[in-house]
Amino acid sequence: NAGVMQNPRHLVRRRGQEARLRCSPMKGHSHVYWYRQLPEEGLKFMVYLQKENIIDESGMPKERFSAEFPKEGPSILRIQQVVRGDSAAYFCASSLRQGSSGELFFGEGSRLTVL
């Protein structure tokens, strides 16, 4: 499967716990994006990363959220001290080229439920 791989597909956490979502981009893609989808809403941009660099995190909440894309391994979206409002589907996308808004390929998402 050469698509964008996300795991876990479903994650349940209690308030105050940490959530870690992982994303492996398509083969050959070095640009990774995270989007969040709230129920009955469209996707909203969170962060754009390249290997070892955060390029744009303007859509990330200022607190509790962080993202990384290490030299080796998948990109990680980390949510500390989760609250009920963090319950959403988190989608990762990757692209081959920088600055190419048309070439985003999305994974199947990680659905976070906070109890």
Partner 1 sequence: QQQVKQSPQSLIVQKGGISIINCAYENTAFDYFPWYQQFPGKGPALLIAIRPDVSEKKEGRFTISFNKSAKQFSLHIMDSQPGDSATYFCAAGAGSYQLTFGKGTKLSVIP
* 85 forms part of the interface with partner 1 (CB under 8 A): no
Q: Which residues within the stretch 46-65 sit at the binding site for partner 1 (CB under 8 A)?
A: 48, 56, 59
Shortest distance in whole angstroms from residue 13 CB to partner 1:
20
* 107 forms part of the interface with partner 1 (CB under 8 A): yes
> What would the DSSP string read from start to end of 71-82?
SSS-EEEEE-S-
* 28 forms part of the interface with partner 1 (CB under 8 A): no
Q: Return the range that interacts with partner 1 (CB under 8 A); candidates 19-27, 70-78, 79-87, 101-109.
A: 101-109
* 5 forms part of the interface with partner 1 (CB under 8 A): no
- Contacting positions for partner 1 (CB under 8 A): 4, 6, 31, 33, 40-45, 48, 56, 59, 91, 95, 98-102, 104-109
